[in-house]
């Protein structure tokens, strides 16, 4: 049986959650997940390849395992039954396949205390839109937060942004709608991630130590990451405490797991497409890169794999995200002012300098009497030991301070605050200093004014088709129709009357990521091509993760 678990020198083991045998890039935890939580065989392992060894050989290996270690044999045996059921392997009776599927369904139903599969399907259909044939992120958020058995099982508040990320991970049709089979697969992953988290959260505080996250990723999930990437993940998804500890909450753990799985699959598939094998490197054009990173879509990335395979001439190990911080000092205003108009990236840098930094003072926009008063407000929320604020404090400022809260009139999610902090965190320490905070608020004021120009009825939404006008004519980015479509589907919500609407917080999320990814890609392009711009970059797997996972 271990012959089926093909490991990779670049990515780790070859069977991942919901993945393809010998094809998916992550870890061993399909075996663990099948043990604990998997709903149905066909829903968990899809489109598997034919096994590379005969069933009789597998059975002999299982018997050998059983003679040495009963528990290991039991776990591998369960995955074996699931695998052959999905792959249609001859030699395993239908009774065994049915028994495996029935056992998995029963485990899931017991977890959420449903009496039958029909009751579980009925719950999903209750929240689903008949016109769309499934649920969107808002309905997924309602299910996780409102349904008593699911809410009481996890005991966390699921943010809308996290639900959008989870939906994008499984949205194979790229239509922004989750079907029942995809929903069932997501609940399978969540059950496994929750039980893994619980094994380390022994005091049931809702947190695990950041150093334990390293153990889970490397030893439990079997990803192959560098020390630099691991440090970045710990800083991005944990919270530093005054006593020096770094803690990771369950929702952050899920966010990390979803994104790590999705980006690894996308990169590995592209690597194989370009090189007819695995090299641990990929070539991206700027537009390809945006479609990959901004969509966060697992199997909906096929458009990226149509590019001709380049000849790999050099492997650049220089880390991308915040390469700006190591190569250029000073503020974003100074760096963006150095960017000239580009045939590949547009004139967004010059636009920010001329129309944002030179015209907007955030403390005046929020009716502070002076900048000193604005600065004092910041220091009131900042930690003396850290010398700045983290995402939690940024979230408190935006949601609690009266003048700022009344200016935007929305509820800022913690995940969006983490993304905004990462965009400005030039020191890469997870701490936002005052000058970075002031720059962020300047951008937010500008983005809000732009949004208000199009939200003429003050509904809190703009039409999705207006987003094209904003990005190209107001922000001056150069994106292809394909990339624009990805943005519209990822950050808008389809309404029953056929319209697609964009809320302000989604607009901010899009603006932050588009700016950060564009700056990072452009800096890497210039670094790799001796100051010139080609619109393409070479990535190693580790570079790619450090770029995409840090934001």
Secondary structure (H, E, C), 49-93: CCCCCCHHHHHHHHHHHHHHCHHHHHHHHHHHHHHHHHHCCCCCC
Whole-angstrom Cα distance, residue 113 to residue 345? 52
Q: Give the burial class of 421: count Cβ atoms within 10 A of its Cβ; 0-12 exposed, 13-18 middle, 19 or more buried.
A: buried
Q: Indicate if 56 and 122 belong to the same structural domain.
A: no
Whole-angstrom Cα distance, residue 421 to residue 497? 36
Mean pLDDT of 355-367: 82
Angle, helices 180-200/160-170, rounded to nearest 10 degrees? 120
Whole-angstrom Cα distance, residue 215 to residue 355? 47
Q: Which of 543, 265, 172 is nearest to 273 (CA)?
A: 265
User: Does residue 182 lie in a domain region?
Assistant: yes
User: Does residue 224 lie in a domain region?
Assistant: yes
Whole-angstrom Cα distance, residue 157 to residue 168? 19
What residues make up the domain containing 25? 2-112
pLDDT band at 385 (very low <50, low <70, confident <90, very high): confident
pLDDT of residue 145: 94
pLDDT band at 160 (very low <50, low <70, confident <90, very high): confident
Q: Indicate if 123 and 57 belong to the same structural domain.
A: no
Which of 43-52, 105-114, 311-320 is predicted with the least confidence, judged by mean pLDDT? 311-320
Domain termination residue (choose one: 60, 91, 112) = 112
User: Does residue 377 lie in a domain region?
Assistant: no
Check which CATH number belongs to the domain holding 171 and give it: 1.10.238.10
Domain termination residue (choose one: 54, 86, 112) = 112
pLDDT band at 40 (very low <50, low <70, confident <90, very high): very low
Q: Which tokens hold the place of 403?
A: 């003048």
Q: Indicate if 150 and 97 belong to the same structural domain.
A: no
Quickly tell me which residue has 């678990």 as its tokens. Answer: 5
User: Does residue 62 lie in a domain region?
Assistant: yes
pLDDT of residue 389: 94
Q: Indicate if 134 and 73 belong to the same structural domain.
A: no
Whole-angstrom Cα distance, residue 539 to residue 144? 37
User: Does residue 362 lie in a domain region?
Assistant: no
Cα angle 202, 44, 221; round to 5: 40
Q: Residue 75 pLDDT > 70, yes or no? A: no
Is 246 in a helix, a strand, or coil?
strand
pLDDT of residue 113: 77
Q: Indicate if 174 and 255 belong to the same structural domain.
A: yes
User: Does residue 154 lie in a domain region?
Assistant: yes
Q: Indicate if 108 and 197 belong to the same structural domain.
A: no
Residue 494 CB neighbours (<10 A): 18
- The dihedrals phi and psi of 172, each to the nearest 5 degrees, come to -70, -25
Full-model pTM: 0.68
**pLDDT 10s digits, 198-217:** 999 888 888 998 878 888 99
Q: Give the burial class of 228: count Cβ atoms within 10 A of its Cβ; 0-12 exposed, 13-18 middle, 19 or more buried.
A: middle
Q: Indicate if 14 and 72 belong to the same structural domain.
A: yes
Q: Indicate if 87 and 9 belong to the same structural domain.
A: yes
User: Does residue 24 lie in a domain region?
Assistant: yes
Whole-angstrom Cα distance, residue 493 to residue 502? 6
User: Does residue 391 lie in a domain region?
Assistant: no
Q: Indicate if 210 and 103 belong to the same structural domain.
A: no
Query: What average pLDDT is seen over the chain?
Result: 74
Domain termination residue (choose one: 260, 287, 303) = 260
Total of domains in the chain: 2
């Amino acid at each position: 049986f271990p012959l089926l678990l093909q490991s990779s020198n670049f990515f780790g083991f070859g069977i991942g959650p919901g993945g393809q045998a010998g094809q998916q890039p992550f870890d061993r935890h399909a075996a663990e997940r099948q043990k604990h939580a998997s709903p149905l065989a066909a829903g968990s392992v899809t489109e598997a390849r034919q096994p590379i060894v005969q069933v009789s050989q597998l059975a002999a290996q299982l018997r050998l395992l059983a003679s040495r270690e009963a528990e290991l044999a039991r776990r591998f045996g369960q995955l074996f039954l699931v695998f052959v059921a999905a792959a249609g392997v001859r030699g395993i009776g239908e009774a065994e396949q049915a028994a495996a599927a029935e056992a998995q369904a029963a485990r899931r139903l017991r977890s959420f205390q449903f009496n039958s599969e029909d009751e579980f399907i009925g719950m999903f259909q209750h929240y689903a839109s008949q016109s769309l044939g499934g649920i969107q992120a808002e309905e997924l958020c309602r299910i996780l937060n409102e349904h008593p058995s699911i809410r009481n099982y996890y005991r966390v508040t699921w943010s809308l942004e996290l639900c959008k990320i989870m939906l994008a991970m499984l949205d194979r049709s790229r239509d922004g709608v989750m079907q029942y089979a995809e929903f069932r697969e997501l609940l399978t992953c969540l059950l496994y991630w929750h039980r893994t988290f619980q094994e380390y959260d022994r005091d049931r505080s809702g947190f695990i130590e950041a150093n334990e996250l390293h153990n889970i990723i490397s030893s439990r999930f079997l990803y192959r990451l560098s020390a630099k990437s691991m440090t970045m993940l710990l800083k991005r998804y944990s919270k530093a405490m005054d006593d020096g500890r770094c803690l990771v909450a369950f929702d952050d753990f899920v966010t990390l797991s979803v994104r790590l799985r999705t980006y690894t699959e996308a990169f590995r598939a592209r690597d194989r497409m370009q090189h007819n094998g695995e090299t641990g490197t990929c070539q991206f054009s700027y537009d390809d890169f945006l479609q990959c990173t901004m969509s966060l879509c697992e199997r909906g990335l096929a458009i990226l794999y149509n590019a001709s395979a380049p000849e790999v001439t050099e492997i650049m190990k220089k880390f991308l995200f915040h390469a700006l911080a190591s190569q250029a000092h000073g503020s974003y205003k100074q760096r963006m002012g150095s960017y000239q108009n580009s045939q590949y990236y547009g004139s967004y840098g010059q636009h920010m300098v001329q129309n944002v930094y030179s015209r907007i003072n955030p403390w005046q926009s929020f009716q502070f009497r002076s900048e000193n008063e604005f600065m004092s407000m910041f220091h009131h929320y900042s930690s003396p030991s850290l010398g700045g604020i983290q995402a939690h404090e940024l979230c408190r400022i935006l949601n609690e301070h009266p003048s700022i809260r009344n200016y935007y009139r929305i509820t800022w999610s913690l995940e969006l605050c983490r993304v905004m902090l990462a965009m400005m965190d030039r020191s890469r320490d997870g701490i936002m200093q005052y000058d970075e905070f002031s720059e962020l608020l300047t951008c937010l004021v500008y983005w809000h004014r732009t949004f208000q120009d199009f939200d003429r009825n003050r509904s809190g939404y703009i039409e999705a088709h207006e987003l094209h006008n904003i990005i190209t004519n107001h922000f001056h980015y150069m994106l292809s129709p394909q990339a624009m479509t990805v943005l519209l589907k990822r950050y808008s919500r389809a309404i029953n009357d056929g319209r697609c609407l964009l809320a302000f917080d989604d607009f901010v999320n899009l603006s932050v990521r588009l700016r950060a990814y564009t700056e990072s890609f452009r800096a890497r392009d210039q670094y790799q091509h001796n100051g010139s711009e080609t619109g393409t970059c070479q990535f190693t797997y580790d570079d790619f993760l450090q770029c995409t996972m840090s934001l």
